[in-house]
Amino acid sequence: MNARDSILARVREALRGGSSSSSYAKATKDEHVAESETRPVDGSGEVRQFLPKVPDDFAGQVALFAERSESLKTEFLACPDEAVARAQLRLLSDREGWESVAVPANSEIRALLTDLSITKLEVSRSTVKTDLEKVSAGITGCDALIAQTGSVLLTAKSGGGRALSVLPGHHVVVAKSSQLVPDLPAAFELLERKYAPNFPSFMTFITGPSRTGDIERVLVLGAHGPRKLTVLLVGVEGRSDW
């Protein structure tokens, strides 16, 4: 019995001046039991049927993330290992003319910047926010990359606080291959597993550089945050020493 049949059955009972029959009540109960038995506890399976399909394999998910990134004006760089990631960051610095970068207190990210002979500001609670506005780029980690939408999942813990991913004009994200997830339900499941019940104070999905089209539908980048977003994916499938 579907919802339409349930409503019509109740209307017929009301017109006859009676109450819902026991057979109707039993059918409704059976219907709800059947639904509860087949529905995933977290609802992710039910949600996924309404979302765009995602390839099952790692290579397909990387390709999809790259495709989404291009459409969002996100620069995506797939790096087989840490040596390539260091070289890409050096090329990026030379191309963009970086004079300084801000980084979280993360030894893994600092290790990728050893080839950059520029000022490196390590962010802490005492960092003045105006100093972050002056650096050429902010380099952070992340919690996940989402193939389905080309988004970066970031929290205060993975992003070096609340301001590092927002104030510099160029945001650079460094992610491990194991952090690539297929879709949004998987990203929320990751947050639940990693942080519940003590979630970080700041959690966000970054989908391309900051933008607005409010004025005459003209796209303007950097309206409320970084003008540029670069994502480096480091390592082969499910494995990275970084």
Q: What is the pLDDT of residues 109-152, one digit of tens each?
A: 999 999 999 999 999 989 999 999 999 999 999 999 999 999 99
Higher-confidence residue of 48 and 117: namely 117
Q: What is the DSSP letter of 127?
A: -
Element holding 173 (H helix, E strand) = strand 170-176
CA quadruple 91, 116, 107, 165: dihedral sign? negative
Fold type of domain 55-234: Rossmann fold (3.40.50)
Calculate the alpha carbon distances from 3 to 31, 34, 39 in Å: 10, 14, 17
Higher-confidence residue of 178 and 38: namely 178
Residue 167 confidence (pLDDT): 94
Calculate the alpha carbon distances from 12 to 6, 7, 9, 26 in Å: 10, 9, 5, 17
Confidence of residue 24 (pLDDT cuts 50, 70, 90): very low
Q: How far is CA 90 from the centre of its chain?
A: 26
Say which residue the tokens 């960051």 belong to.
89
Q: What is the pLDDT of residues 75-103, one digit of tens each?
A: 999 999 999 999 999 999 999 999 999 99
Residue 121 confidence (pLDDT): 96
Is pLDDT at 178 greater than 90 in this prediction? yes
Looking at the DSSP assignment, which residues form a beta bridge with residue 144? 153
Residue 32 confidence (pLDDT): 46
Reply yes or no: is the peptide bond before residue 200 cis, omega within 30 of 0: no
Alpha helices in 82-128 (DSSP H): 82-96, 107-111
Residue 38 confidence (pLDDT): 43
Residue 223 confidence (pLDDT): 66
Residue 79 confidence (pLDDT): 96
Residue 13 confidence (pLDDT): 82
Q: How many percent of the chain have pLDDT more than 90?
A: 66
Is pLDDT at 241 greater than 80 in this prediction? no
Mean of pLDDT over the chain? 86
Nearest CA to 200 among 140, 152, 153?
A: 153
Calculate the alpha carbon distances from 39 to 30, 47, 65, 113 in Å: 14, 11, 29, 47
Residue 218 confidence (pLDDT): 66
Residue 214 confidence (pLDDT): 67
